[in-house]
Structure 1
Amino acid sequence: MFLLLLSSCTKIGNYAEKRANKAAYSNIAGAQHSAFGETDIFSIGVKEEELLQQLLEIDRKQEEVQLLSLADTIALAMANSRSYQFEKENLFIQALNLTETQKDFNWDTSASSAAASTGISKQNGNVETFGEQGVDGNLTLGISRTLVSGAKVSLGFTHAFLNAFSSPDTSGEGNAVSLNIVQPLLNGFGPLVAKETLRQAERDMVYAVREFKRYQQGFVINIADQYYSALQTRDQLINQRRNYESAVANREQTESMAKAGRIKEFEAAQAKQSELNAADSLTLAISNYQSALDDFRYTLGIPIDLNVEPDSRELKLLEERGLVQFDIDQQAAMDSALSNRLDLITRRDAVEDNERLLEITRRNFLPDLNANYNVTADPEFDSSDQVDQDLTVSLDIPFDWTEKRNDYRIAQIRLDRAVRSLQAEEDDIRRDVRELWRKLERNRSVYKNRLLSVRLSERRVENTELLLQQGKVQTRDLLDAQDDLLSSRNQATSALVDYTINRLRFWDAIERFEIDPKGMWYEQSEEEITE
C-alpha cells in the first residue's frame, strides 16, 4: 500500500513538474516577446553536458593538457557555471510566481469535501447516545474569477448528505447552486485598479527578462575577460622564461669574460644576481599561471583538477587581428546607449508604474460603493420558490483617512524617486560611455607604443650584447635592456587584452553587444586597422 502511494506521488510530482515548466517557460517567452519582439531559447536544464563529459573522458585516458577554444569555454560556462545557473533559476521562479497572480484573473476552480460520523457509546453498562447514528457530510465545488471591471464572480455547487447509513428513514440529500457577484461602483472600479496586480506582475516579468539579458551579456564578457587574462598570465610566464634563459646565458658569458679579465668581477656578480632574480620571478610566474587556471576552471563550474587550459592560439589571433576601428563616433554611441539600454528602458517604465500607482492611490479616496448580487437555488426543483436571490448596495464612507492619506503621499515620493533614479541612470550611462571611450583610446595608444617599444628593445638587446662583447658597455646595460624588453612585451599583451575586453564592454554599454544561444558574440559593422 505504501509503495502504491509512493508511486502515485511520484507520478503526480512528474506531472506537476511538467505543468510548472510549461507555465513558467510560457511566461518567459511572452515576456521576451514583449521586451524584444522575439523569443530566445531558455531552459534551466543543463546544456552542452556532452562537451564536459567528453573532456572528463579524455582526461581519464591521457595526461596531455586539453586546449579549450574561446567558443567552447563560453559554452561550458553557460552550461556549468553555478552563478549563471542561479540567475536562470531566479528568472524561472519569478515566472512561476507570476502564474499565481494570473490565476486570480482566470477561472479558479476549487473543490472540498467533509464528513463526520455520529454514534453511541456505553459507560458502566448504560447506553449514552451522542446524536443519531450515521454520517453527515458535504461536497462543494466552485469556480471564481476577477473581471476587468473589478467585479468578483463566484459560482458554487454543494451536495450534502445526512445519516446516509444507519438511519435510512431519516437520511437525505440536498443540493444547492449559488452565484455571487460583487461589483465595485466607485473605489476599485475599472481595469486601472482591478488589473493593477496582474499588470505590474507582468511588467515585472518583462523587467526581469531584460535584466537577465543584461546579466547574460555581462557574464559572457566576464568569461572572455578571464579567458584572455589566463592567456595573458601564460604569456607573461613565457616572457619570464625567456628572460630567465637570457639571464643564464648572460651569467655564463660574463663569468667567462671575467675569468679572461675582460670585465670586472662585480659585473659577473651582477649577472649572477640577475639570474637569481629571474629564477624567483619565473617561479612566481608559474604559480600565478596555475592560480589563474584554478580560477578559470572554477568560474566555468568544471572540476578544478581537470587538465584543461585556454588555447594560446586565441591570443595569436588577437595579435594578428590587431586593433579594431569602430564604425560609430562618441556622440552616436551616446545616443545609442540612451535610446537602447535595456536597464534604462526599465527605469523609464518604472516612472510610468509609479505614475499609475499615484493615480490609483488618488482614486482610493473615493468611498466604497459596492453592488452585491446573490442567487441560491436547488437544481432539482423548477419552482421559483426554491430560488433565493437578493441584490444589495452598500456604501462605506471612511472617516479615518490616515492610511489612504499616507499611501497617497508615499506614492508621490516614490514617483519623485523614480524620476531621480532615471536621471541618475542616464548620467551613469553617459559617464560609462565616455569613460570606456577614453579607456579604448588609451589602450590603443599604449598598444601601439608597446609594439614599437618591443621592436626597439629587441634591437637594443642585440646591440648591447655586441657592445658588451667588445667591452664598450657594462653588464648592467644589458640587464637593463633585457628588463625593458620583458616589460614591453608584457605591457603590449596587456594593452591588447584590455582593448579587446573594453571594446566588448563598450558595445555592451551602448546595447550593441549581440550573442548567440551558445554565448558567442558578433560585433556590428567594424573594420580592421592596418597597424
Structure 2
Amino acid sequence: IAQENLTQAERNALYEIRSFNRFRKTFVVSIVSDYYRVLQQRDGVTNAENDYKRAVESKDRLEMEAKAGRKNPYEVDQAEQRVLAAGDSLVRAKERYEQSLDEFKLRLVLPTDAEIELDQNELKALAELGISQPDYDLEEAVETALNQRLDLATSRDQVDDAARKVAVEADSLGTQLDLKGAMTVNSTGDTDYSRLRFHDGIYTVGLEADLPFDRKSERNAYRKAMITLERQHRKYENDTDNVKLSVRDAYRELNKAAQTYKIQMNSLKLAQKRVESNTLLLEAGRLTTRDLLDSQDDLLTAQNQLTAALVGHIVAKLNFFRDIGVLQVRPDGMWEQGAR
C-alpha cells in the first residue's frame, strides 16, 4: 500500500509503451496499404496504355480491310470510337494515379512536387508468387489475439489497478496508529557542540491514534473505488468482445479476398482467351467487330479487377496480422509476422 503511487507510475509508463507500439503497427499497416493502392493505380495506367495500343491496332487493321472491301465503313467507325474511349480511359487513369501519388506524398510528409519512384515490379513479384493464407483457423486467431493484443493486456491490467485502489481505500477505513518519538540533548557550553550530554537529555515517546469514528470522506472514496472497479471490469469485457469481433471480421475479410482473387484470376484467363479467339474469328469473317471490341473492354476490366483483388488480399492479410497481434514492426520501419 505504501508503494502504490510508485507501482501505478511504473504501470502507467508500461501502458504508454504499449500504446505507442500499437500505434506503430496501425500506422505501418496504413502506410503500406496506401503504398499498394498507389501501385494499383499505376498498374491501371499500364493496363490502360496496353488497351489503347490494342484499340489502335484493331482500328488500323480494320481500315486496311475496309479499303480492300472486306469490311464495312461503319465497323471502322466503331473501332475509331473504341480508340477514343480507350484514350479517354488512359487520361483518367493517369489522373487517378497522379492524384493518389500526391496524396501518398502528403501522408509521408513530403511536398507534392517531390520526386519519388515506386517499385513497379512489386505487384508483379507478388502476382507471380500468388496469394497465401495465414496458418490460422478462426478459433486459433481469436485465442492468439486474446493473448497477444497489447491494448487488451492494458485493459486487463487496469482491472488489477482498480482492485489495488480498492484495497488502498479499504485500508484507510481502519484505525491509524502512529508511533512518535523525540529527544533533546544539551552541550557542555553555549557553543561547544562536540561534547553532547546524552546522559542528561530529555526523551519522549508517544502513540497517536486516529480512531475510525468519522470516516465519511474515506467511505466515499472507497465506494468510488468499488464503482471504478466494476466499471473497469465491464470495460475489459467490452474490449474483449470488440477484439473478438475485429478478429472475426478480419478473418472473414481475408477469406473473401482470397476467393475474390481466385475468381478474378479465372476471369482474366477467360478474357484473354476471348480476345485471342475473337481476333482470329474476326479475321476469318465469322465475328462482328463489336464482339471483338467488347471482349477488349472486358479484358481491361478483368486486368484492373485482378490487380484490385491482389491488393485487397495484401491489405486484408496485414489487417489480420495486426488484429491478432502478431504483426511486428522492426526498428527500420519494416514489418514482419511475429511468433504466436
How high is the TM-score relative to the length of structure 2?
Answer: 0.86
Q: Which residue of 2 aligns with 1:121?
A: none
Contact 1:358 1:411 in 2 (8 A): yes
Does the C-alpha gap of structure 1 residues 286 and 326 become closer, same or farther in structure 2, counting only changes over 3 Å? Answer: same
Q: Which residue of 1 aligns with 2:302?
A: 488
Contact 1:293 1:309 in 2 (8 A): no
Check if 1:421 corresponds to 2:222. Answer: no
Structure 2 distance, partners of 1:470, 1:448, is 33
The number of equivalent residue pairs is 334
Q: Which residue of 2 aligns with 1:407?
A: 221
Q: Which residue of 2 aligns with 1:339?
A: 147
Contact 1:357 1:411 in 2 (8 A): yes
Contact 1:436 1:506 in 2 (8 A): yes
Q: Deviations over 1:321-360 (max 9, x none)?
A: 1112433322222221112222221111111111111121
Q: Deviations over 1:27-65 (max 9, x none)?
A: xxxxxxxxxxxxxxxxxxxxxxxxxxxxxxxxxxxxxxx
Mean Cα deviation higher: 212-221 or 258-267? 258-267
Does the C-alpha gap of structure 1 residues 373 and 492 become closer, same or farther in structure 2, counting only changes over 3 Å? Answer: farther
Look up the equivalent residue of 1:409 and give its one-letter code. R
Structure 1 distance, partners of 2:308, 2:204, is 81
Tell me by how many angstroms 1:486 deviates: 1.2
Structure 1 distance, partners of 2:246, 2:216, is 44
Tell me by how many angstroms 1:375 deviates: 6.0
Tell me by how many angstroms 1:224 deviates: 1.6
Flag the structure with more relative contact order, 1 or 2, with Cα contacts below 8 A and sequence separation at least 6. Answer: 2
Structure 1 distance, partners of 2:332, 2:102, is 23
Structure 2 distance, partners of 1:326, 1:433, is 13
Q: Deviations over 1:123-146 (max 9, x none)?
A: xxxxxxxxxxxxxxxxxxxxxxxx
Does the C-alpha gap of structure 1 residues 475 and 398 become closer, same or farther in structure 2, counting only changes over 3 Å? Answer: farther
Tell me which protein shows more strand as a share of its residues.
1
How do 1:18-417 residues align onto structure 2 when only pairs under 5 Å count?
192=1, 194-255=2-63, 262-263=70-71, 265-373=73-181, 381=193, 382-384=195-197, 393-396=207-210, 401-417=215-231
Does the C-alpha gap of structure 1 residues 519 and 383 become closer, same or farther in structure 2, counting only changes over 3 Å? Answer: same
- Give the gaps of 5 or more residues in structure 1: 1-191, 526-531
Check if 1:478 corresponds to 2:292. Answer: yes
Q: Which residue of 2 aligns with 1:66?
A: none
Q: Which residue of 2 aligns with 1:188?
A: none
The root-mean-square deviation of aligned C-alpha atoms, in Å, is 2.9
Does the C-alpha gap of structure 1 residues 256 and 363 become closer, same or farther in structure 2, counting only changes over 3 Å? Answer: same
Look up the equivalent residue of 2:92 and give its one-letter code. L
Does the C-alpha gap of structure 1 residues 275 and 409 become closer, same or farther in structure 2, counting only changes over 3 Å? Answer: farther
Secondary structure of 1:309 counterpart: coil
Does the C-alpha gap of structure 1 residues 280 and 370 become closer, same or farther in structure 2, counting only changes over 3 Å? Answer: farther
Does the C-alpha gap of structure 1 residues 374 and 432 become closer, same or farther in structure 2, counting only changes over 3 Å? Answer: same
Look up the equivalent residue of 1:445 and give its one-letter code. Q
Q: Deviations over 1:198-234 (max 9, x none)?
A: 1111001111112222222222222221221111110
Contact 1:263 1:471 in 2 (8 A): no
Structure 1 distance, partners of 2:291, 2:247, is 44
Q: Which residue of 1 aligns with 2:319?
A: 505
Structure 2 distance, partners of 1:270, 1:393, is 106
Structure 2 distance, partners of 1:380, 1:230, is 86
Q: Please, which of 442, 445, 455 is the counterpart of residue 259 of structure 2?
A: 445
Contact 2:174 2:212 in 1 (8 A): no
Mean Cα deviation higher: 373-382 or 354-363? 373-382
Secondary structure of 2:113 counterpart: coil
Structure 2 distance, partners of 1:392, 1:264, is 119
Does the C-alpha gap of structure 1 residues 376 and 345 become closer, same or farther in structure 2, counting only changes over 3 Å? Answer: farther
Structure 1 distance, partners of 2:335, 2:244, is 24
User: Once the two structures are aligned, what percentage of the paired residues are identical?
Assistant: 38
Q: Deviations over 1:462-511 (max 9, x none)?
A: 22223334443333322321221111111111211221222222222222
Does the C-alpha gap of structure 1 residues 262 and 349 become closer, same or farther in structure 2, counting only changes over 3 Å? Answer: same
- Give the gaps of 5 or more residues in structure 2: none
Contact 1:361 1:411 in 2 (8 A): yes
Q: Deviations over 1:266-321 (max 9, x none)?
A: 54444333333322222221122112222222222334322112211221221121
Does the C-alpha gap of structure 1 residues 261 and 399 become closer, same or farther in structure 2, counting only changes over 3 Å? Answer: farther
Tell me by how many angstroms 1:389 deviates: 6.8
Contact 1:443 1:495 in 2 (8 A): yes
Secondary structure of 1:308 counterpart: coil
Does the C-alpha gap of structure 1 residues 480 and 353 become closer, same or farther in structure 2, counting only changes over 3 Å? Answer: same
Q: Deviations over 1:100-143 (max 9, x none)?
A: xxxxxxxxxxxxxxxxxxxxxxxxxxxxxxxxxxxxxxxxxxxx
Tell me which protein shows more helix as a share of its residues.
2
How high is the TM-score relative to the length of structure 1?
Answer: 0.57
Q: Deviations over 1:498-528 (max 9, x none)?
A: 2122222222222222332212233369xxx
Does the C-alpha gap of structure 1 residues 435 and 380 become closer, same or farther in structure 2, counting only changes over 3 Å? Answer: farther
Contact 2:169 2:218 in 1 (8 A): yes
Structure 2 distance, partners of 1:362, 1:265, is 96
Structure 2 distance, partners of 1:380, 1:482, is 110
